[in-house]
């Protein structure tokens, strides 16, 4: 029986277990949407804006480990996906973005709603296809899914002109993979693994530096075995939250710009940094020429280009974290590091991760702590980007991988709500919180309608401080308090906004109100709800390593800042 | 330091855009770039001359390999090479200076491929240094227009 291009796309998606797609229809994707109309196996989620579709697919992929799929029409639909695609690219998230395009004979003619989306996305996709013949369509989708989900995962875009989705083939093609030049390295080099084991055995002050790659690889069990075998301190990146349980006695939690001071001291004073699925990002290393100066570095990463990109490495191991750790676990034993631990514990006592509680005002850290306690650390937590994201990272200790859904590399404000939607769709049985900023939330607020339509019981906790808080913090600390562009002067009444969408909205402006509001939120099972936490407006995220500062220049005490000479640093990022 | 690298890529639409986008995004400088098909019509070869230290070169190679359509990357720093580029040079030539220019061209084993009352077009082939030298000597006559293909290379001997 003859099949259309649209049917080929749907068949390939089904074959790969795709159960949900996020998107918005438009002229040139009507044929595809028409096929989805009859497709009971694929849930078709209409979002409010294509950026939300990409973020929801991304959140779905982060929470489930499966491919996330989003669909947009040509022109503005496709360009609206761009931020979401870039976000997935920076954090190595497997998403498939399907865009419609104008008829092949109109491409290049500046036709209505035409955009060169394959051209626009070249630097932010793992790969992309512009499919000009229906004969190539099955292969393109098959290859796109394969590329997105293997090796170092990432977004792949397939752009399909409408005449290709309408064209027919006499029978359903199977599709074939023809990618001789794409061969990711999974197995680590044996000699390098031996050398790593030897280097570890000789270390006096080792630290495990764990990133998102461990989660992408599904290597948490091997990671835990490795850490416990060695008995050494573990720090994680923002993306690595949950790769190793943060409440474990070996864990020092997050490292980097807003990591605990003791985590940063441990990293910088160590004599061996064992990086696993982490990429020595500037938010982790601080000033590079003062980073881990006395430390050897072992770097395990599936992407060869990450090794040696930012820091020189002594033992490079290209491979999949799960396979490499399995091999390493056969070769390592407990490290003799009692003295090192004594030092680390002293730092922990001296520079604890803490904040000043208030009896009058709601502290944002307190809100996160209460969410943590009430959910017993089991919830999936999505975040926006900014102060609230850092407080969530500091005070919501993750137990397991795929629990913390946050935009790391790109730092995309507005990620929280759509990502929470994707996560809740991936994990309907789990409790999902969106810990969002007032500024972040407003950037994708239209997705409230999506959450309501899908009856998703997401708990939206808005850390409402009436500022673009992280930028305001920098302005306060480094720009003489000149709050240019950061006050959010005309925010809506968030509770009423929630009510306008037909869901429960609550306001909390006293510390004693935090717990009861959260308890009430947990009782709502069939719809989202929103809590407007009106927090101390000028609370800052500490500790903090100033941008461009060395890791051991971490500022722990807010009072210290007040005595600092606040000259302009001119450091921009 | 200048490096010459050969990049074998799948002969597909958009590959050149992906490679050039990578160079600009990562801040690598291309001195010259020549692209053509190879003995295998499904494969194209890009010959790229880049400036950078060993670290930069390593990143270029690794980043290129991340492109799905890149089959092989080879740095020719250590290889014995035949390297050539073709140039066309339009130079001012009056009846008085014509003979002198033609002598120069002969020394460089170039050819005159076009002639008018006031100009000549010279075709010259050779390694980059030879083309540079010819240009230097022709310069006093007044170079009106110049185009070079960029370097293409082949490793000497039986190896591919």
Q: What is the pLDDT of residues B47-93, one digit of tens each?
A: 999 999 988 999 999 999 999 999 999 999 889 999 999 999 999 99
Instruction: Please check whether residue A217 is in contact with residue A302, taking contact to mean a CB–CB distance below 8 angstroms.
Output: yes
Contacts of A307 in chain B (CB under 8 A): 62
Residue of A nearest to B13 (CA): A130
Architecture of domain A190-350: 3-Layer(aba) Sandwich (3.40)
Contacts of A299 in chain B (CB under 8 A): none
Give the whole-angstrom CA distance, residue A8 versus residue A35: 10
State residue A330's pLDDT score.
Answer: 98
Instruction: Say yes or no for a CB contact (<8 Å) between B66 and A182.
Output: no
Residue of A nearest to B43 (CA): A181
Q: Enumerate the domain spans of chain A.
A: 3-169, 190-350, 364-542
Strands annotated E in A211-341: 234-236, 251-254, 272-276, 296-301, 315-318
Return the CATH class of domain A364-542.
alpha beta
User: Does residue B21 sit in the same domain as residue B66?
Assistant: yes
Instruction: Say yes or no for a CB contact (<8 Å) between B66 and A303.
Output: yes
Last residue of a domain, one of B56, B75, B94: B75
Give the whole-angstrom CA distance, residue A284 versus residue A296: 17
User: Does residue B10 sit in the same domain as residue B69?
Assistant: yes
Give the whole-angstrom CA distance, residue A380 versus residue A375: 10
User: Does residue B49 sit in the same domain as residue B94?
Assistant: no
Q: To the nearest whole angstrom, how far is the Cα of B100 from the nearest Cα of chain A?
A: 50
Q: To the nearest whole angstrom, how far is the Cα of B51 from the nearest Cα of chain A?
A: 17
Contacts of B69 in chain A (CB under 8 A): 181
Q: Token digits for A161?
A: 């002109």
Instruction: Please check whether residue A100 is in contact with residue A28, taking contact to mean a CB–CB distance below 8 angstroms.
Output: yes
Structural domains counted in chain B: 2
User: Does residue B116 sit in the same domain as residue B145?
Assistant: yes
User: Does residue B11 sit in the same domain as residue B43?
Assistant: yes
pLDDT band at B1 (very low <50, low <70, confident <90, very high): confident
Nearest to B68 among A181, A305, A307 (CB): A181
Instruction: Say yes or no for a CB contact (<8 Å) between B55 and A308.
Output: yes
Residue of A nearest to B60 (CA): A305
Instruction: Say yes or no for a CB contact (<8 Å) between B18 and A304.
Output: no
User: Does residue B106 sit in the same domain as residue B69?
Assistant: no
Contacts of A155 in chain B (CB under 8 A): none
Residue B160: inside a domain, yes or no? no
User: Does residue B104 sit in the same domain as residue B145?
Assistant: yes
Nearest to B68 among A182, A307, A309 (CB): A182
Residue B24: inside a domain, yes or no? yes
Which domain CATH number covers B9?
A: 3.30.70.260
Contacts of A126 in chain B (CB under 8 A): 68
Residue B34: inside a domain, yes or no? yes
Contacts of B17 in chain A (CB under 8 A): 119, 122
Instruction: Say yes or no for a CB contact (<8 Å) between A179 and B68.
Output: yes
User: Does residue B91 sit in the same domain as residue B71?
Assistant: no
Last residue of a domain, one of B59, B75, B91: B75
Residue B145 has pLDDT above 60, yes or no: yes
Residue B110: inside a domain, yes or no? yes
Tens-digit pLDDT profile for chain A (573 aa)?
899 999 999 999 999 999 999 999 999 999 999 999 999 999 999 999 999 999 999 999 999 999 999 999 999 999 999 999 999 999 999 999 999 999 999 999 999 999 999 999 999 999 999 999 999 999 999 999 999 999 999 999 999 999 999 999 999 999 999 999 999 999 999 999 999 999 999 999 999 999 999 999 999 999 999 999 999 999 999 999 999 999 999 999 999 999 999 999 999 999 999 999 999 999 999 999 999 999 999 999 999 999 999 999 999 999 999 999 999 999 999 999 999 999 999 999 999 999 999 999 999 999 999 999 999 999 999 999 999 999 999 999 999 999 999 999 999 999 999 999 999 999 999 999 999 999 999 999 999 999 999 999 999 999 999 999 999 999 999 999 999 999 999 999 999 999 999 999 999 999 999 999 999 999 999 999 999 999 999 999 999 998 888 988 888 766 555 544 444 444 444
Contacts of B65 in chain A (CB under 8 A): 304-305
DSSP codes joined into one string, A53-94: HHHHHHHHHHHHSS-EEEEE-TTHHHHHTHHHHHHHHHTT--
User: Does residue B57 sit in the same domain as residue B14?
Assistant: yes
Architecture of domain A3-169: 3-Layer(aba) Sandwich (3.40)
State residue A560's pLDDT score.
Answer: 58
Quote the domain boundaries for residue B15.
Answer: 2-75
User: Does residue B61 sit in the same domain as residue B87?
Assistant: no
Give the N- to C-terminal CA distance of chain A in Å, as an integer.
58
Residue B43: inside a domain, yes or no? yes
Instruction: Say yes or no for a CB contact (<8 Å) between A122 and B21.
Output: yes
User: Does residue B58 sit in the same domain as residue B104?
Assistant: no
Tokens 């029409």 found at: A73
Measure Cα distances from A318 to A151, A499, B68 in Å.
11, 52, 18
User: Does residue B12 sit in the same domain as residue B27?
Assistant: yes
Residue B101: inside a domain, yes or no? yes
Task: State the count of interchain CB pairs (< 8 A) between A and B.
Answer: 38
State residue A566's pLDDT score.
Answer: 40
State residue A561's pLDDT score.
Answer: 54
Give the whole-angstrom CA distance, residue A473 versus residue A486: 10
A104 in helix, strand or coil?
A: helix
């Amino acid at each position: 029986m003859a099949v259309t291009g649209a049917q080929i796309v749907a068949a390939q998606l089904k074959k790969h277990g795709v159960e949900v797609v996020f998107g918005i229809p438009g002229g040139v994707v009507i044929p595809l949407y028409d096929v989805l109309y009859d497709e009971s196996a694929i849930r078709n989620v209409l979002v409010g804006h294509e950026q939300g579709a990409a973020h929801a697919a991304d959140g779905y992929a982060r929470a489930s480990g499966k491919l996330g799929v989003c669909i947009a029409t040509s022109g503005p639909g496709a360009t609206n996906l761009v931020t979401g695609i870039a976000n997935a690219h920076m954090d190595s998230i497997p998403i498939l973005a399907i865009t419609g395009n104008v008829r092949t004979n109109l491409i290049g003619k500046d036709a209505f709603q035409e955009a060169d989306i394959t051209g626009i996305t070249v630097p932010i996709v793992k790969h992309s296809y512009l499919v000009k013949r229906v004969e190539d369509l099955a292969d393109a989708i098959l290859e796109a899914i394969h590329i997105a989900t293997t090796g170092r995962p990432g977004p792949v875009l397939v752009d399909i002109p409408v005449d290709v989705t309408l064209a027919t083939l006499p029978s359903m093609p199977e599709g074939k993979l023809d990618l001789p030049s794409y061969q990711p390295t999974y197995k680590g080099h044996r000699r390098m693994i031996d050398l790593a084991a030897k280097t570890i055995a000789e270390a006096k002050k080792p630290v495990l530096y764990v990133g998102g790659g461990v989660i992408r690889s599904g290597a948490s069990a091997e990671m835990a075995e490795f850490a416990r075998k060695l008995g050494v301190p573990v720090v994680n990146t923002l993306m690595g939250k949950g790769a190793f349980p943060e409440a474990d006695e070996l864990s020092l939690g997050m490292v980097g710009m807003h990591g605990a001071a003791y985590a940063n001291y441990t990293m910088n004073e160590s004599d061996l940094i064992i990086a696993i699925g982490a990429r020595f990002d500037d938010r982790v290393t601080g000033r590079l020429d003062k980073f881990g100066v006395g430390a050897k570095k072992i770097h395990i990463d599936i992407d060869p280009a990450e090794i040696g990109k930012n820091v020189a490495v002594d033992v490079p191991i290209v491979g999949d974290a799960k396979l490499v750790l399995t091999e390493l676990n056969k070769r390592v034993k407990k490290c003799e590091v009692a003295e090192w631990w004594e030092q680390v514990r002293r730092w922990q006592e001296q520079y604890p991760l803490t904040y000043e509680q208030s009896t009058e005002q709601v502290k944002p850290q307190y809100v996160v702590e209460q969410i943590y306690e009430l959910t017993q650390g089991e919830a999936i937590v999505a975040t926006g980007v900014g102060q609230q994201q850092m407080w969530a990272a500091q005070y919501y200790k993750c137990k397991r991988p795929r629990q913390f859904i946050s935009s790391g590399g790109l730092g995309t404000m507005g990620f929280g709500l759509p990502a929470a939607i994707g996560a809740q769709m991936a994990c309907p049985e789990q409790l999902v919180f969106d810990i969002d900023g007032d500024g972040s939330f407003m950037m994708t607020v239209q997705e409230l309608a999506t959450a309501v339509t899908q009856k998703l019981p997401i708990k939206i906790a808005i850390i409402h401080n009436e500022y673009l808080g992280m930028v305001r913090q920098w302005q306060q600390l480094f720009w003489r308090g000149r709050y240019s562009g950061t006050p959010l002067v005309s925010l809506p009444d968030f509770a009423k906004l929630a009510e306008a969408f037909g869901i429960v909205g609550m306001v909390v402006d006293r510390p004693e109100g935090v717990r009861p509001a959260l308890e009430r939120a947990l009782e709502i099972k069939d719809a989202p709800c929103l809590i407007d936490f009106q927090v101390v407006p000028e609370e800052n995220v500490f500790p903090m390593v100033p941008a461009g500062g060395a890791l051991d220049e971490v500022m722990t005490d807010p009072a210290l800042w007040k005595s600092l000479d606040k000259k302009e640093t001119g450091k921009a990022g | 330091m200048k490096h010459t690298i050969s990049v074998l890529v799948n002969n597909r639409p958009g590959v050149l855009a992906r490679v050039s986008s990578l160079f600009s995004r990562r801040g690598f400088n291309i001195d010259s770039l020549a692209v053509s098909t190879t003995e295998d019509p499904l494969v194209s070869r890009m010959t790229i001359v880049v400036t950078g230290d060993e670290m930069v070169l390593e990143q270029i190679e690794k980043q290129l390999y991340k492109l799905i359509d890149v089959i092989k990357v080879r740095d020719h720093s250590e290889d014995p090479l035949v390297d050539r580029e073709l140039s066309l040079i339009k130079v001012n030539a009056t009846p008085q200076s014509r003979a002198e220019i033609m002598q120069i061209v002969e020394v460089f084993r170039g050819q005159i491929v076009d002639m008018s009352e006031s100009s000549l077009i010279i075709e010259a082939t050779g390694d980059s240094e030879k083309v540079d030298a010819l240009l230097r000597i022709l310069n006093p006559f007044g170079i009106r227009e110049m185009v070079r293909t960029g370097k293409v290379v082949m490793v000497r001997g039986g190896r591919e």
